[in-house]
């Protein structure tokens, strides 16, 4: 008898919308200007045959992380949280100590892509904070645009024992059909075996209204060749993906792409890698 392994959405968001807190939701993004709560997410997961998920921060506040952890404590579906903490701040050690017993806190993320300084990832205080993650078991999610990839490679090399997850395949310029230098740098980054990659956030880098699976193919081919099934994980980036795709359409797109893989490879991408990397139950 063939059993189905758990399917995990390794990247989604939740929020209570306010214009003040979500100023990045601008014109043309009205579909996101409302609450997205666990009940909304559960419908999407059930419809697409997903068994669990990882909630990822959007706001750069410890209050949001506390809220996500509270939601996770009340939900069997939310297996883990990638939160935000003041990694570059003097208070970071105290925050880590405070959260040491929060079992569903699996990782941290800083929105580097929005930093006005493209060299933020080199900052001494930020790197000192990353070094503090040693021994905590916490993963660090790297959120960047493709222009940050060269710096991200240097950053990873500073922390060879830290587990990293690259979000949204580093946001290549899919809409413009630009592959280089993104592709070469992805292969370079993938040489570091402490780095994993999320197949997520791609449709919003493509043409929101006209994208096809063929538009995504060269980018998917590249990350599959670079990382292999044992370092890739599926993520929806819901509800942000709704700007360009329904939850189900994105799931179906990924399933179609991996259709020719072995069952063990599919199981890794659809849940096994996420469970291993984030230590999910």
The per-residue pLDDT for range 237-263, each reduced to its tens digit, is 999 999 999 999 999 999 999 999 999
End-to-end CA distance of the chain: 23
Tell me the CA distances in angstroms from 258 to 10, 45, 91, 269, one per residue in order: 17, 19, 44, 9
At 40 the pLDDT is 96
At 1 the pLDDT is 40
- Across the chain, which has 281 residues, the per-10-residue mean pLDDT values are 77 97 95 97 96 98 98 97 98 97 97 94 98 97 97 98 98 98 98 98 98 98 98 98 98 97 97 98 87
Taking the C-alpha atoms of residue 61 and residue 247, their distance in angstroms, rounded to an integer, is 27
CB atoms within 10 A of CB 76: 9
| Exposure b/e, 102-118, CB count within 10 A at least 16 = b | bebbbbbbbbbbeeeee
Q: Which pair of tokens denotes residue 227?
A: 């990382």
SS3 104: coil
At 5 the pLDDT is 83
Taking the C-alpha atoms of residue 211 and residue 218, their distance in angstroms, rounded to an integer, is 13
At 281 the pLDDT is 87
Taking the C-alpha atoms of residue 281 and residue 274, their distance in angstroms, rounded to an integer, is 11
Class of domain 8-277: alpha beta
Q: Which pair of tokens denotes residue 36?
A: 């997205």
> Tens digits of per-residue pLDDT, 50-97?
999 999 999 999 999 999 999 999 999 999 999 999 999 999 999 999
Give the neighbor-by-neighbor strand order of the sheet with 195-199.
Answer: 8-12, 52-56, 78-83, 105-110, 139-142, 164-166, 195-199, 232-234
At 4 the pLDDT is 63
């Amino acid at each position: 008898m063939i059993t189905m392994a758990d399917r995990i959405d390794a990247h989604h968001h939740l929020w209570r919308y306010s214009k003040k807190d979500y100023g990045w939701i601008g014109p043309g993004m009205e579909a996101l200007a409302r609450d997205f709560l666990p009940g909304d997410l559960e419908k999407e997961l059930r419809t697409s045959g997903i068994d669990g998920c990882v909630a990822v921060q959007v706001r750069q506040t410890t209050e949001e992380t506390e809220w996500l952890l509270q939601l996770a404590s009340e939900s069997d579906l939310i297996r883990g949280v990638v939160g935000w903490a003041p990694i570059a701040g003097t208070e970071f050690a105290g925050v880590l100590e405070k959260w040491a017993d929060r079992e569903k806190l699996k990782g941290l993320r800083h929105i580097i892509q929005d930093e006005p300084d493209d060299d933020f990832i080199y900052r001494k205080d930020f790197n000192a904070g990353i070094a503090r993650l040693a021994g905590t078991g916490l993963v660090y999610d790297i959120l960047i645009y493709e222009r940050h990839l060269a710096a991200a490679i240097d950053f990873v090399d500073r922390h060879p024992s830290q587990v990293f997850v690259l979000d949204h395949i580093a946001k290549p310029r899919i809409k413009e059909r630009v592959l280089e230098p993104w592709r070469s740098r992805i292969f370079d980054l993938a040489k570091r075996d402490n780095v994993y990659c999320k197949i997520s956030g791609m449709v919003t880098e493509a043409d929101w209204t006209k994208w096809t699976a063929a538009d995504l193919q060269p980018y998917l081919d590249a990350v599959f060749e670079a990382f292999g099934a044992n370092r890739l994980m599926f993520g929806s980036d819901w509800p942000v993906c709704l700007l360009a795709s329904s939850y189900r359409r994105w799931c179906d797109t990924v399933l179609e792409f991996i259709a020719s893989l072995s069952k063990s490879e599919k199981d890794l991408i659809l849940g096994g890698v996420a469970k291993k990397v984030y230590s999910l139950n």
